[in-house]
Chain A
Amino acid sequence: MEFVEQFIVPKFNYWIYVVLMMIGMHAMIAKNNFFKKLIGMAIFQTAIILFYVSIGVKEGANIPILDHHMMPGEVHANDPVIAAKFTNPLPHVLMLTAIVVSVATLGLALAISQKIYREYGTLEEDDILSQIKLEPND
């Protein structure tokens, strides 16, 4: 119980992300079906996004968009912006990039697996391996 309170509760998000990552990575390595491998890949990449977004959380802070009325020339033009009041924008920016990258990777991987299905008629790894005549130098 003490372990839970000391190590898990305060770092709850990080534990969740690690568990998700392990599920995804295990599916990528150990599953026999190519489609399941890709689902694992998606889980893995989503876990990383959870990790990054967790970095940027600030207690008591708002979304990283300044009030429209605080723009120069308006009422509160010269009020200084207090960094503690806004969530860290950088992890969000990085994750926008990472989401796009993971979508692109997933799309390409789907296309490759579709081509595999076209060539071999199956997406099970062991079926495909049995179709390939294993040459002695393979």
Chain B
Amino acid sequence: MGEQAPIAIVLAPLFGALLIAFVGIRFKALCLPVTLGALTVSLAATIETFRTVLSEGEFIYLISGWERLGEGKGISIGIEYRVDAISALVLLVIAAVSLLVAVYSRTRVVAETPDRIPYYYMLYLLLVAGLAGMTITNDAFNLFVLLEISSLTSYALIAVGSRRAVLSAFNYVIMGTIGASFYLLGVGYLYIKTGVLNMEDIHAVIVANDLAESPSIQVAFVLILMAVWIKMAFFPLHAWLPNAYSYSPTTTGALMAPLVTKVMIYIMIRMMVTVFGLDYAFRATLGMPFNWSNLVVSLSSIAIVAGSVMALSRRDLKKMLSYIIIAEVGYMVGGAWLANERGMTGAVYHIVNDAFMTLCLFLAVGVFIARTGDPRIAGMNGLFKKMPITMAAFTIGALSMIGLPPTCGFFSKWYLVGGGIEAGQWHFVGALLFSSLVNAVIFFRIFEIAYFPKELSDPAPECTDPDAAPVATLQRTPLSMSLPLWISAIALIGLGIFNHTITQWIGSALGSLKFFPPAG
């Protein structure tokens, strides 16, 4: 069954959701075990796929068994999966993070959405299926369908939360639909000029027919970029993200924050590498006196600085983390557009690291809020004494976010800075260092509050949702919450120690690519 592993990655969560629809609605206690089982199968299939990629390199899985037409590479008439070292890595992150968050959700879902448990877990599983399907597919239109599955499920997972969450979910629907529609238009503009929908075929036709200067292809490029930027909350298009992540239920935030933006960054890299080709991506100009590489790296520098500055002034923990995510998106977009292998490796490596860093911090913050009932930074008063073990995990996540060795955040930032220097993009290097400095200020301020307790001068926090059923604060942290937190914290150190191995995997996928530094 080894060769069927790729399809099992997506099917396991889908069948899990169906099973919940059949039995979970009557027997609510079965929802979580079914979810965990489905995600475990998905993780096993991902590991199997990963091993195949390691031993055989990238491979194609033909759904419906329609062989490619014609001699040579030919064109695809069906839909196919394509797995290489990078997508296998992203799939592994999706499977691992979703399983950890599912374990974490045991007490939270019951406490926050007590009457909607089966529906919550169905949406949860289908979101995971959508994200994995987007990562693995090789068809530009199929990506749109799975993008919509992951969007619809995430709108719903946010909107089941508090009063404010519904409002931010609506804004997310509007922004997300504009993004998805732009993507669909972009695919249409590609289709009208190339006549194919398979990503590799589109690239082959663009190269063969010399369409690089065609306005349609250039407009398609802009539309698809705008679409993925909206979906990943790249700086001027970020407005939907902070409220959506901070007012949603704990589990939703902990699942979406590490995964959704990261998968979209992977999709952007996939579009650059597979569909348009790196030469095109870095040099295209749209008739303007600048090239894309310089433009996007400048935008990323602005995104990093803006995200960091906005994070600095937040007093709400989750909101502060949300703005840090916006800054981190700038890291990865910038790294991918540096037009050298070091920068691209750093960007992909940072996708993995940032997923686990965000996971660790969001899980820790979820524990804090569950224990103290206070979402503000000030609420962490004296927490080192009250819950030293959770605080230790939080510290590891924070140090990684700042970028101190031996945590993984240091190594990926090392690659990004190196790539920036190699490309001569000094403002990007400056923005990265500035952001590390700001993160250090933010987190050391938190450590100070948590380590040296003082009398709270301001009154107890006002609940953002006066109507919400008060969620009782926990007296002690259940194992289902502390275990995923610790695994993610250990993963941060593990990813740092094995940085050489991971970058070699990434390099094996990037090695065959030619990086064209932009002319001039």
Q: Which of B38-46, B165-173, B402-410 contacts A (4 or more CB under 8 A)?
A: B165-173
Task: Let me know if B309 is at the binding interface, CB within 8 A.
Answer: no
Q: In the complex, how many angstroms separate the beta carbon of B483 from the nearest chain A beta carbon?
A: 32
> In whole angstroms, what is the CA distance A41 to B177 when docked?
8
- A residues contacting B by CB (< 8 A) are 25, 28-29, 34, 37, 41, 44-45, 48, 51-52, 55, 90-91, 94, 97-98, 101, 104-105, 108-109, 112-113, 115-116, 119-120, 128, 132, 135-137
B85: interface (CB < 8 Å): no
Dominant secondary structure of chain B at its interface with chain A: helix
In whole angstroms, what is the CA distance A37 to B155 when docked? 16
Complex alpha-carbon distance, A113 and B185, angstroms: 26
Residues of the A chain whose Cβ atoms lie less than 8 Å from the Cβ of B106? none
Contacts of A28 in B (CB 8 A): 174, 177-178
Q: Is B90 an interface residue (CB 8 A)?
A: no
State the Cβ distance, B154 to closest chain A Cβ, in Å. 11
Tally A-B pairs: CB < 8 A: 78
Q: Once the chains bind, are B315 and A112 in contact (CB under 8 Å)?
A: no
A32 to chain B, nearest CB (A): 13
- Contact between chains at B173 and A105 (CB < 8 Å): yes
A108-B152, A112-B159, A116-B167 as given contacts; A52 in contact with B173, CB under 8 Å? no
Nearest Cβ distance between residue A107 and chain B, in whole angstroms?
9
B192 CB-CB contact with A under 8 Å: yes
Could you say which of B141, B148, B314 contacts A137, with CB atoms under 8 Å apart?
B314
In the complex, chain A residues whose CB is within 8 Å of the CB of B191 = 55, 90-91
With A55-B192, A108-B155, A112-B173: A44-B166 Cβ-Cβ less than 8 Å: no
CB distance from B159 to the nearest CB of A (A): 5
Q: 10 closest Cβ contacts across the A-B interface?
A: A137-B315, A101-B148, A119-B163, A109-B173, A137-B314, A115-B166, A112-B170, A55-B192, A112-B159, A116-B166
Pair A128/B167 contact, Cβ less than 8 Å: yes
Which residues of chain A are within 8 angstroms of B173 by Cβ–Cβ distance?
105, 108-109, 112
CA gap between A90 and B78 in the complex, in Å? 12
| Contact present for A45 and B169 (CB under 8 Å) | no
Having A45-B181, A119-B166, A120-B167, one finds 4 other A-B pairs with CB under 8 Å, namely A101-B144, A105-B152, A108-B173, A112-B155
Q: Given that A115-B159, A132-B164, A137-B315 are known contacts, is A94 also in contact with B141, CB under 8 Å in the complex?
A: yes
Q: Does B205 contact A (CB under 8 A)?
A: no
Q: Give the docked Cα–Cα distance between A16 and B79 (Å).
A: 32
Flag if A48 contacts B166 (CB, 8 Å). Answer: no
Report the Cα distance A111→B241, complex, angstroms. Answer: 21
How far apart sit A98 and B155, CA to CA, in the bound complex (Å)?
A: 18
B319 close to chain A: CB less than 8 A: yes
For residue B159, which residues in chain A have a CB less than 8 angstroms away from its CB?
112, 115
Q: How far is the CA of A52 from the CA of B181 in the complex (A)?
A: 12
Contact B152 A104 (CB under 8 A): yes
